[in-house]
Structure 1
Amino acid sequence: MNFIEYPDADIMMMDLANVLAEDLTDALHSKDRVTFAVPGGTTPGPVFDALSAVDLPWDRVNVMLTDERWVPEDHERSNTALVKARLITNRALGARFLPFYAPAEQPEEVLADVEAALLGAMPVDVVVLGMGADMHTASLFPDSDGLENALAADAPVLVPVRKPDLPDVRITLSARVLDSALRKHVLIKGDDKKAALEKAHGLSRREAPIKAVLDGADVHWAKE
């Protein structure tokens, strides 16, 4: 793990956008198409805004989420809507988005088809991850139903995750897929996240799922 500290969050977001543009450019030199996995939530929004303005051959870039709620795109809690609004716009409008959601009451009804559509885009070339104060990343939550499967060495590409305090079923890329990305970046802000990251080193992957993806990752941190 390479820990990178920034003087403030604005500088971190701009620097990370530049690094991601370089990573994608490097990957595009050796492959016809590359796959870029990104988190939802509002924290990476400024990174997406800056990156969407970069002049890349976006028509050769697959974009997918690291995890998604099992809700339609027009739902208020959809990560897909946010990514399309802030990343797949401007110069990045030509990128191909690969969804995790398909119309069904439960993901298990259609997950095999959703996963099959992703197999041609594997492995992930560049991934950006967040981390919660509980040391979860993507939707790999401690004490969640599905975590053991998601952490397994032979895990599938996608895993449904359920937890009593989560309002929606989550679909997440497994730790195997996330950790195998060629370039890994973790984006965090605040003293609480820094403390959680330090705590994770002394815990198991089940207690601190972020630990499953830290080997070889660049962790970008700003106090606020």
Structure 2
Amino acid sequence: MMIEEKFFPDRERLIQALANDCASKLQQGIKDSGRATFLVSGGSTPEPVYRELSKRPLPWSDITVALVDERWVEKNEGGSNHAFIEKSLLQNAAAEAPFLGMKTLHANAAQGEAECERAYGELPRPFDICLLGMGSDGHTASLFPHAEGLEAALDVNGGSLCKAITAQQSAVTGAHTERMTLTLAAILQARDIKLLITGEDKLKVYREALLGSDELEMPIRSILKQGLKAVTVYWAP
């Protein structure tokens, strides 16, 4: 397995290190090709990283920020990753960054899939950074255990970048089970895949994922065990 673990004694040091690493990779992307693409996840864990990054004097107008996944809700509803990224990352210096969301005007995610696919297909590839999180159920992005659409989303030969997912409702999903997510194939088109987790409970889930092989049970395994791209895991208590 191509996994590098960067474990820190406290979250403040993790936040600074991850922000530094992201800033460095984005600058390198701009140096190499004139632009960079930053694929971002929602959730409370990366929020302080985004707030720190937003203050960095990067050439943000040359960095496209795009969502890893989204609940099929309007921007003004609770749970919108679009709104979360606008409030956390697209502030300060980073307010200049172009932003690509996933929610379309379609009634459901399945109907919005083609439009999402077209939009993400226009992003320059390889993507520079894909920052992922992980739930206590072993999901990452909106790749939820045994979800409707999961097998297609994990098919690396399928060629799609975006897939509609209907998760099985749980304490982790909350009420919004209808999602749009990047596929495994899309995530693997990132130069740099970073997995951010915090706390002893998530560390236990991560270690359980490494021990098993059933990707439908714990979809994070599809990232950790794919063997094609290195994954850097960031953790602090």
TM-score range, shorter chain: over 0.9
The equivalent residue for 2:101 is 99
Structure 2: any 5+ residue segments left out of the alignment? Answer: none
CA contact (8 A) 1:136 1:208 kept: yes
Letter in 2 for 1:207: E
Q: Summarize deviations over 1:93-131 as a string: whole Å, max 9, x none.
A: 111101101112112223212221121214321011001
Instruction: Could you tell me which runs of 5 or more consecutive residues in structure 1 were left unpaired when the two chains were aligned.
Output: none
**Residue in structure 2 matching 1:181, options 190, 206, 216:** 190
Q: Give per-residue Cα distances to partners, 1:126-173, cap 9 Å, x unaligned.
A: 011001121110011111111101000233111111123142211000
Contact 2:129 2:192 in 1 (8 A): yes
**CA contact 2:53–2:89 (8 Å) conserved in 1:** yes
1:141 matched to 2:155? The reply is no
TM value normalised by structure 1: 0.95
Q: 1:48 aligns with which of 43, 47, 50?
A: 50
Identity of aligned residues (%): 35
Count of residues in correspondence between the two structures: 223
Counterparts of residues 1-224 of structure 1 (less than 5 Å): 1-121=3-123, 122-155=125-158, 156-165=160-169, 166=173, 167-168=175-176, 169-201=178-210, 202-214=212-224, 215=227, 216-223=230-237
How much has 1:203 moved relative to structure 2? 2.1
Distance in 2, matches of 1:146 and 1:53, equals: 38
CA contact (8 A) 2:145 2:167 kept: no
Matched position secondary structure for 2:146: coil
* RMSD, matched Cα: 1.3
Q: Determine if contact 2:64/2:97 at 8 Å carries over to the other structure.
A: yes
TM-score (norm 2): 0.90
Paired with 1:142 and 1:152, the residues of 2 have a C-alpha distance of 15
Q: Is the 8 A contact 1:179 1:212 kept in 2?
A: no
